[in-house]
Homo-oligomer: A and B are copies of this chain.
Amino acid sequence: MSRGLNNTVSSLQRSGTLINSLIAALTIGGQQLFSSFTFKCPCQIGKNFYYGSAFLVIPALILLVAGYALRSQTWTIAGEYCICVPPPRRISLLERKLACLRFFSITGRALVAPLTWLAVTLLTGTYYECAASEFTSVDHYPVFHNISASKRKEILAGFPCCKSAPADIILVRDEVALLHRYQSQMLGWILITLATTAVLVSCCLARCCSPLTSLQHHYWTTHLCNERELFEKAAEQHSRLLITQRIKKLFGFIPGTEDVKHIRIPSCQDW
């Protein structure tokens, strides 16, 4: 469209905001789809907590691991500073700092999906409601005064399932549901606030304490990108030429040439 819009879009792409937004949007969509299909609170004593926690924490952990593993840069850095590969060449201080900077940026990208998952699930509140149902304090409700502790636990564990119950219990259930939603969403907001603060502070620190100025940093990212692209092109061409030479030795012609004068029948030792 316009130059201003183009500038905004290209600066968003450069800072990775576009990809981060895409990751976050996919995570939100996936979470909604996933939980609508599979989440069903067991509503039994001693199981609610593990079930709810598993749905809250495990996907976030998997998304974190995937976020690290899917970035090829992670493996480049891991390969460069790997202890097993002999001989360990000397690494300068600047190289160390730059590797830290790259690791830092990879971590930032890898944290987008798990933090989005946690924030969305906490703001939605169903997982937390299931996990926390048993641990609610209901001592101040007169309905529960003449109910034994084990029976009370059972009733509390059954709250997320909306089973049929006496009217006074339903009233308590609605209040407890609102309380859990409040706790879950407040936790979500606290998480979002902390994450935003951490992003801001660490971005500032990274920019200020970086061994590169703003222009140098721009040049460096372009350089890393070009290095990769040109090396791949060269490796591709080099490998093709090498194989073509070998095939010429075996079959007597270069594959793809139109007018072949003579061909060679390879002997058994050639294979």
Is A75 within 8 A of B207, CB to CB? yes
Bound CA span A13–B70, Å: 10
Interface residues in chain A, defined as those with a beta carbon under 8 Å from any beta carbon in chain B: 2-5, 7-19, 37-38, 40-44, 47, 50-51, 54-55, 58, 61-62, 65-66, 68-72, 75-76, 78-80, 82-85, 123-125, 161, 175, 178-179, 181-182, 185-186, 189, 192-193, 196, 199-200, 203-204, 207-209, 213-219, 222-223, 225-227, 230-244, 247, 250-251, 253, 255-256, 260, 263, 265, 271
Given contacts A179-B44, A238-B263, contact A79 B213 (CB under 8 A): yes
A16 to B5 Cα, complex, angstroms: 9
Extra contacts, 19 of them, besides A65-B200, A84-B208, A234-B251 (Cβ < 8 A), are: A2-B10, A17-B70, A42-B178, A42-B181, A44-B182, A50-B186, A54-B185, A55-B189, A75-B214, A82-B208, A215-B271, A219-B235, A223-B242, A226-B236, A226-B239, A226-B243, A231-B243, A233-B256, A234-B255
Task: Count chain B CB atoms within 10 A of each CB in A85, A227, A230, A235 and give the residue with the most.
Answer: A235
The chain B residue with its CB closest to the CB of A236 is: B222
Would you give the shortest CB distance from A89 to chain B, in whole angstroms?
A: 10
The complex places the Cα of A170 from the Cα of B245 at a distance, in Å, of: 76
Main secondary structure of the interface of A (DSSP, over half): helix
Task: For the complex formed, measure the closest distance between the CB of A60 and the CB atoms of chain B, giving whole angstroms.
Answer: 12
**A12 / chain B contacts, CB cutoff of 8 Å:** 70
How many copies of the polypeptide does the oligomer hold? Answer: 3
A242 engages B215 (CB within 8 Å): no
A230-B243 Cα distance, complex, nearest whole Å: 7
CB distance from A234 to the nearest CB of B (A): 4
**Contact A263 B251, beta carbon cutoff 8 Å:** no
- Contacting residues, chain B, for A204 (C-beta < 8 A): 78
